[in-house]
C-alpha cells in the first residue's frame, strides 16, 4: 500500500479537513500508485494562507542577506539527492531519466543563480532638486504569494517560483499540479531540511479549481505566480487583478521554427527533434510549427519524418528509451483529439498519430511522435497548443510569408530560425513576436541567468529568472529625507 502524504502548514504535516485523499500514479504503469495526497478544500487553503500571513510579520523583518542562508543548504541537498529526485520525476511525470536528470541540473543552476540576489536587492539614489534632500528607493516584500505550479517541470518550476518569493521576504502557499504531488512534497521536505522557518512555505495539495478559487478571492493573497495553460492563467489574472492583486503567469506556446534555404538542414532537424519531440513536446517552449521555404521543403519533410519514426518510446527508466509516456490521461486525450482534428481539417498525417500499446507498453500513456504536412496557418493544429509530440509543417513561399505565418498565432513564448544569412537572422529577431528567441538553436534552449517569459497570451506580469527573478515579489518605496 502506497504511503499517504500530508499538507504542510505552519511547520506541521497536517491532514486535510475533508478527510479525503487522491492518488498520484506512474504514467508508464497506470496501476502503480506512488502515493496518496490530501484532497484539500477552501478551509485548508485558508488555514495555509493565515499561517503564511502570520509568518510574514517575522520573516519580512529578517535582514535580506540572512534570509538567503537556507539557499546554500538547499543547493547542497539538491546535489546530494540528485539521483533520487530524478528517479521520482521519471516515475511521476514519465520523462526519461536523462531528461529528469537534466531538470535537476537546471534546478541547481537556477538556485545557484539566485544565491546573490538577496545581496543585490538594490534601489536607486538620484539627486533631488533640493540640495537639502536625500532621496532613494528601496525594494520591499509584499505579503503572501500563491505559487501554482505545473507538472512538466515540477521540481524546477516549483523552486524557481518559491525561492525568489521568499528571498524577497514574502511567504507562500504552494499549490502543485495534482499529478506531480509526490515530487512536490519532496521539494517542500528539502526546503524544510534546508532551514526555511515554519509558516514561510505552506503546501496544500488537491483540486486546482477549488484551491485556486480561495487563492484568487482571499485578500491576504497579494499575488499569484502561475505556470500552466493560458485558459487558467488568463482567468486567474482577470480575477486577481479585479481585486488589485498581482499576477505573473507563464502560459502556453505555439513556437515556430523557420527553415531558410541556406540553413544547415541537419542541424535544423537535430534541433527540431530535440525541441519538438523530446519530453513528448510537453514543454511550453517546444517547437510545434516548422515553417519551411520551398527550396528545402522536400528535404526537411523527409528527414523530419525519418527522425520521428526512429524515436524509441518506452519506460523512462529504460536507457534505450528516447521518450517516455505522456504525463497523464488528460494529455493522452488531448493528443488524440488534435491528431483527429488535423486529419479532419485536411492535413496529411505522415507518421505517428496513435497510442502505442504493444510490447510492454500496454499499461501506460505512450504515443508515437507525429508529423503533419500540408498544414495551413488557419488549421487548429497550427493555432492551438497541443503540448504533445506533434509537429505541423507549414509551407511558406518567401521569408516575408514565413514571418507572417510565424506571428499569426495568439501565443508568443519562444521561436527559432535556421539560416546562415546574418541579415535575415536579425530581421527575424527584430520582427518575431516572442519573449524568447533563437538563431540556429532549439526553441527550448534556456539558461536560468536570463529572464524568461512570453508575449501575447503566453505571459502576464514581470519575467521569471535572471536578474528580473525577484521583480514580481517586491514593491518599490521612494524615500525623501530632509535631515
Ligand atoms: N506553460 C506550461 O509550461 C504548461 C502548459 N500547460 C498547458 O495546459 C494544458 C493542460 O494542462 P493542465 O495541467 O490541465 O494545465 P492547467 O493550467 O489546468 O494546470 C496548471 C496548474 O494550475 C492548477 N489549476 C487548474 N485549474 C485551476 C484553477 N481554476 N485555478 C487555479 N489553479 C488551477 C493545476 O492544478 P491541478 O493539477 O490540481 O488541476 C496545476 O497546478 C496542457 O496540455 C498544456 O497545453 C500545462 C502545464 C504546463
Ligand atoms: O526548459 C526548462 O527548464 C523549463 C522551461 C519550461 O517552463 C517549459 O518549457 O515548459
> C-alpha angle 7/12/18, rounded to 5°?
40
The rounded distance, in Å, linking the Cα atoms of 141 and 168 is 6
Of 284, 436, 449, 450, the residue with max ligand 2 atoms within 8 A of its CB, to mutate for a pocket test, comes to 284
> C-alpha angle 154/103/237, rounded to 5°?
40
| Catalytic residue (one of 92, 99, 250, 384) | 250
Q: Are 412 and 386 in contact (CB under 8 A)?
A: no
**pTM of the full structure:** 0.97
| Ligand 1: centre distance to CA 203 (Å) | 17
What confidence category does residue 52 fall into, taking pLDDT thresholds of 50, 70 and 90? very high
Ligand sitting nearest the alpha carbon of 150: 1
> C-alpha angle 474/480/483, rounded to 5°?
135
> Residue with the nearest Cα to atom 4 of ligand 2?
153
| Ligand 2: centre distance to CA 151 (Å) | 11
The ligand 1 atom nearest the CA atom of 385: 45
Of 156, 275, 282, the residue with max ligand 2 atoms within 8 A of its CB, to mutate for a pocket test, comes to 156
149 lines ligand 2 (CB under 6 A): no
> C-alpha cell of 254?
505555439
Domains and CATH numbers, the chain: 7-251+458-481 (3.40.605.10), 255-439 (3.40.309.10)
> Residue with the nearest Cα to atom 41 of ligand 1?
177
User: Would you state the pLDDT for residue 1?
Assistant: 83
81 lines ligand 2 (CB under 6 A): no
Residue 250 annotated among the catalytic residues of the structure: yes
359, pLDDT greater than 90: no
Complex ipTM over 0.90? yes
Tens-place pLDDT, residues 256-312: 999 999 999 999 999 999 999 999 999 999 999 999 999 999 999 999 999 999 999
284 lines ligand 1 (CB under 6 A): yes
The rounded distance, in Å, linking the Cα atoms of 38 and 205 is 6
Tens-place pLDDT, residues 79-138: 999 999 999 999 999 999 999 999 999 999 999 999 988 898 999 999 999 999 999 999
User: Would you state the pLDDT for residue 6?
Assistant: 98
| Ligand 1: centre distance to CA 228 (Å) | 4
| Ligand 2: centre distance to CA 442 (Å) | 12
User: Would you state the pLDDT for residue 116?
Assistant: 87
285 lines ligand 2 (CB under 6 A): yes
| Ligand 1: centre distance to CA 146 (Å) | 14
To the nearest whole percent, how much of the chain has pLDDT over 70? 100
What confidence category does residue 409 fall into, taking pLDDT thresholds of 50, 70 and 90? very high
Amino acid at each position: 500500500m502506497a504511503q499517504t502524504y500530508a499538507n504542510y502548514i505552519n511547520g506541521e504535516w497536517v491532514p486535510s479537513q475533508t478527510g479525503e485523499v487522491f492518488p498520484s500514479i506512474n504514467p508508464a504503469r497506470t496501476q502503480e500508485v506512488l502515493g496518496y495526497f490530501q484532497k484539500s478544500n477552501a478551509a485548508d487553503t485558508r488555514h495555509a494562507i493565515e499561517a503564511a500571513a502570520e509568518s510574514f510579520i517575522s520573516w519580512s523583518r529578517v535582514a535580506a542577506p540572512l534570509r538567503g542562508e537556507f539557499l546554500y543548504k538547499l543547493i547542497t541537498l539538491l546535489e546530494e539527492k540528485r539521483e533520487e529526485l530524478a528517479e521520482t520525476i521519471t516515475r511521476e511525470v514519465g520523462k526519461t531519466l536523462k531528461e529528469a536528470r537534466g531538470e535537476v541540473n537546471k534546478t541547481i543552476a537556477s538556485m545557484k543563480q539566485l544565491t546573490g540576489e538577496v545581496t543585490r536587492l538594490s534601489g536607486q539614489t538620484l539627486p533631488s532638486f533640493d540640495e537639502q534632500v536625500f532621496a532613494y528607493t528601496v525594494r520591499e516584500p509584499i505579503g503572501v504569494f500563491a505559487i501554482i505550479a505545473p507538472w512538466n517541470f515540477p521540481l524546477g518550476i516549483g523552486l524557481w517560483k518559491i525561492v525568489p518569493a521568499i528571498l524577497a521576504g514574502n511567504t507562500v502557499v504552494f499549490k502543485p499540479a495534482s499529478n506531480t504531488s509526490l515530487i512536490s512534497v519532496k521539494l517542500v521536505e528539502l526546503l524544510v531540511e534546508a532551514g526555511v522557518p515554519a509558516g514561510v512555505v505552506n503546501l496544500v495539495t488537491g483540486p486546482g479549481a477549488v484551491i485556486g478559487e480561495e487563492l484568487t478571492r482571499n485578500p491576504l493573497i497579494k499575488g499569484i505566480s502561475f505556470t500552466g495553460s493560458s485558459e487558467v492563467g488568463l482567468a486567474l489574472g482577470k480575477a486577481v487583478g479585479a481585486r488589485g492583486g498581482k499576477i505573473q503567469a507563464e502560459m502556453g506556446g505555439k513556437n515556430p521554427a523557420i527553415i531558410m534555404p541556406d540553413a544547415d538542414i541537419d542541424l535544423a532537424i537535430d534541433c527540431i527533434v530535440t525541441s519538438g519531440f523530446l519530453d513528448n513536446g510537453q514543454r511550453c517552449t517546444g517547437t510545434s510549427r516548422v515553417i519551411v521555404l520551398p527550396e528545402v521543403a522536400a528535404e526537411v519533410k523527409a528527414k523530419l519524418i525519418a527522425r520521428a519514426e526512429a524515436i524509441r518510446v518506452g519506460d523512462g527508466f529504460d536507457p534505450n528509451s528516447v521518450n517516455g509516456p505522456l504525463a497523464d490521461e488528460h494529455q493522452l486525450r488531448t493528443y488524440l483529439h488534435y491528431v483527429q482534428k488535423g486529419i479532419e481539417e485536411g492535413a496529411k498525417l505522415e507518421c505517428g498519430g496513435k497510442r502505442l500499446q504493444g510490447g510492454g507498453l500496454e499499461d501506460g500513456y505512450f504515443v508515437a511522435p507525429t508529423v503533419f504536412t500540408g498544414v495551413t496557418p488557419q488549421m487548429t493544429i497550427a493555432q492551438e497548443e497541443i503540448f504533445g509530440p506533434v509537429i505541423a509543417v507549414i509551407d511558406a513561399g518567401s521569408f516575408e510569408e514565413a514571418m507572417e505565418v510565424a506571428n499569426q498565432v495568439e501565443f508568443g513564448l519562444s521561436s527559432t530560425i535556421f539560416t546562415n544569412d546574418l541579415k535575415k537572422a536579425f530581421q527575424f529577431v527584430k520582427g518575431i513576436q516572442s519573449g524568447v528567441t533563437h538563431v540556429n538553436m532549439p526553441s527550448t534552449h534556456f539558461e536560468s541567468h536570463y529572464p524568461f517569459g512570453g508575449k501575447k497570451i503566453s505571459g502576464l506580469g514581470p519575467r521569471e529568472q535572471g536578474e528580473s527573478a525577484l521583480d514580481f515579489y517586491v514593491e518599490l518605496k521612494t524615500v525623501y529625507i530632509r535631515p
